[in-house]
Structure 1
Amino acid sequence: MPKYFYLLPVLLMFLTEACSLPLTPSVSPMTPAPAASQTATPTEPAAVPTATIVPLGSPANPVVFALPPSLQPEQIADGKALADGLSRYTGYTIAVTRPNSYADLVADFGKGNAHLAFLPPFAYVDAYQKGYVRAILATQRFGTYVYGAQFIANTRNNFVSYYDELNGQNKADAKTALSQFDGYKPCWDDPLSAAGYVIPLGFLNENGVRTKPPAFVEGHSTVVRSIYAQGICDFGATIIDARQSPAVLEDLPDVTRRVQVIWRIEPLIPYEVVVVASSMPDDLRFTLTQTLAQLTQTAEGQTAMQNIYKIEALQPVNDDAYALFRHYVKTSGLDLSTLFK
């Protein structure tokens, strides 16, 4: 009998076992691959099971999209529609939440209970400094992604203007222009205003300018009116160019002659900053960035963005774009936790 005949039973045994092996299902790009199973042998103890890591964006571990705290019911519906669009276009599971305050939202990022949000500027700085978030998109309003500020004074106060109105450029550095305000009283917008208080204060402090206690007059137009009237304060700061407000021009037609720009702060103040949790995987972060930017170009995305955030467009960005803003928030010397609610 041929010697190969004795190998036939062994061969049949291997063929039978091979036919009984389970098939491995194909894995889609958005579906985590199943963990490989292990079969214990009689000579080895059974492996101790380990905890399964559930990928972020899966049904069991959705991306939490935090909406602004102050939304009305109809705006919340728009937020959910935006999340549904994100989920539909990316394949990831997106859940919506609405915190009670931005302070709570920053804390949620720290606890891992939020992964995506549109943060106001000071809340962004706080969350960034704590290492909770990273910026992915800049938001556009009024055709711009950042805006500036200006120092103004009444022409009768004899301050020297270092701003060229015709060319739209400063004629000196900040220290030269702002040192003349030392010992004088400013008019500020309100304690939470970036252009009307925090950033101008940061510039004054960085250049060693010490002023008298300020007057908070509530409103950029009110700052202009206060400077025009005199007797309330010696100089002030506003957005660019608050003197051109229709209401101000109607009441004070000669305002641009009576109130002059002393020096301007270049556009560096952001609107809302779209952020993700700093721990978010790169592939998920990239996908959300691209999809959110594209959603603003659709009718449903534009409607939702306008209704919730009053935003016109989004543009990819990173944290370096806001380095100057964070710097002057720091030099203002103000407690960040008091600048947002």
Structure 2
Amino acid sequence: MVPRGVAGRRKSRYNPCRRPVGAVERHMKRIVFATGPIARTPTRRQPRRAFAQLLSAALGLEVVVVVASTYNELAGLVHRGDAHVAWLPPAVYVRSCQRDGVQLLLETIRARGSVFRSALFVRTDASFQSIEDLAGHAVAWVDQNSCSGYLFPRISLFDRGVDPRTHFRRELVLGSHEAVVRAVEVGTASVGATYIDQVPGEDARESHPGWTMEVELDEMRPLMVSDPIPADTISVRPDVPAQVREDLSAALLSMHATEEGAEVILGLFGAERFEPGRIEDYEPIRRAIELSC
């Protein structure tokens, strides 16, 4: 016999993000912190462990750091509730905010006061002198969620009246900055997108460009450099309790105050410290996402 009031109701599909009120509070004995592909490198293994230990000691909770292989996987960890808090690059944060209500907690402040930008680069010995010279050639992108490797260079192109969808013969999405550099090096693509970590007052070419992960500095040169890109974020799921969010924020804001903490932040996130996040800083990302559609 069907209980009164149940007949005719449509059974709702299970949604792992729709948790009972108070579920997180009752079971918050550990925090899962997710980070992205950059943390998979061998040099970041020790900073990952040290970061988990420092944060665990500050919070009095077990902290587990998980590393996603791709930006989509990173967003999925947060979406499913497999991670409570995450390092999210700007575009992943904005998309997760729109889809899941993820909340901005902190921004990373890059070392030496540097400004993060995107560059479209070519081989130094190539004949190209402008973006217009690349009409009909192949371009290599990193990932459609990458600000420096996809979104911001496309904004710069559109602002110059260049539509990348028609300007280039082929658009290759290769999954990593290293793969983009290799594609330009061997000629699979004539131009690629990567980041430039630019210190004010320095020439763009001398400011730690992403291609130095694979080749020497003077083997590539930038043709176009974007406007500054907003900082990477530390963001939390909306069902993380307010007190836990406050404790997380306090622990991370003060982590750089010790020598060990400063080394961990630099080694894992390439940052000098954290500061409170400002939602308005990410409006350019929303525009970039709209233009990429």
Output the TM-score relative to the length of structure 1: 0.55
Structure 1 position 286 matched with structure 2 position 214 = no
SS in 1 for 2:86: strand
Structure 1 position 113 matched with structure 2 position 78 = no
Q: Is the 8 A contact 1:78 1:304 kept in 2?
A: yes
The letter of the residue matching 1:274 is I
Equivalence for 2:148 = 195
Structure 1 position 274 matched with structure 2 position 241 = no
One of 35, 44, 48 as aligned partner of 1:79: 48
**Residues 266, 90 of structure 1: alpha-carbon distance in 2 compared, 3 angstrom cutoff:** same
Equivalence for 2:33 = 65
The letter of the residue matching 1:294 is S
Q: Aligned ranges for residues 81-160 of structure 1 at < 5 Å?
A: 81-91=50-60, 93-98=61-66, 101-102=69-70, 103-144=72-113, 146-149=115-118
Q: Deviations over 1:195-225 (max 9, x none)?
A: 35432223434675331324769339958x9
**Residues 238, 305 of structure 1: alpha-carbon distance in 2 compared, 3 angstrom cutoff:** closer
**Residues 139, 145 of structure 1: alpha-carbon distance in 2 compared, 3 angstrom cutoff:** farther
Equivalence for 1:300 = 260
Output the TM-score relative to the length of structure 2: 0.62
1:124 positional shift: 2.7
1:310 positional shift: 3.2
- Quote the Cα distance in structure 1 between the aligned partners of 2:41 and 2:194: 30
Q: Aligned ranges for residues 1-341 of structure 1 at < 5 Å?
A: 53=22, 56=25, 61-68=29-36, 71=40, 78-91=47-60, 93-98=61-66, 101-102=69-70, 103-144=72-113, 146-149=115-118, 181=132, 184-185=135-136, 188-192=139-143, 194-205=147-158, 209-210=162-163, 211-214=167-170, 218-219=180-181, 222=184, 239-240=195-196, 243-244=205-206, 247-249=216-218, 264-270=225-231, 272-333=232-293
The count of residues paired between Structure 1 and Structure 2 equals 245
RMSD between superposed Cα atoms in Å: 4.4
Structure number with larger C-alpha Rg: 1
- Quote the Cα distance in structure 2 between the aligned partners of 1:152 and 1:101: 25
- Quote the Cα distance in structure 2 between the aligned partners of 1:266 and 1:319: 18
Q: Is the 8 A contact 1:55 1:61 kept in 2?
A: no
Give the percent of matched residue pairs that are identical in Structure 1 and Structure 2: 23
**Residues 130, 182 of structure 1: alpha-carbon distance in 2 compared, 3 angstrom cutoff:** farther
The letter of the residue matching 1:194 is C
SS in 2 for 1:148: strand
**Residues 327, 110 of structure 1: alpha-carbon distance in 2 compared, 3 angstrom cutoff:** same
Q: Is the 8 A contact 1:63 1:95 kept in 2?
A: yes
**Residues 330, 84 of structure 1: alpha-carbon distance in 2 compared, 3 angstrom cutoff:** same
Range that drifts further, 195-204 or 273-282: 195-204
SS in 2 for 1:279: coil
Stretches of structure 1 lacking an aligned partner (at least 5 in a row): 1-50, 160-177, 227-231, 334-341
Q: Deviations over 1:281-337 (max 9, x none)?
A: 33432331121021122123223223333333222213321220232133122xxxx
The letter of the residue matching 2:154 is L
SS in 2 for 1:218: helix
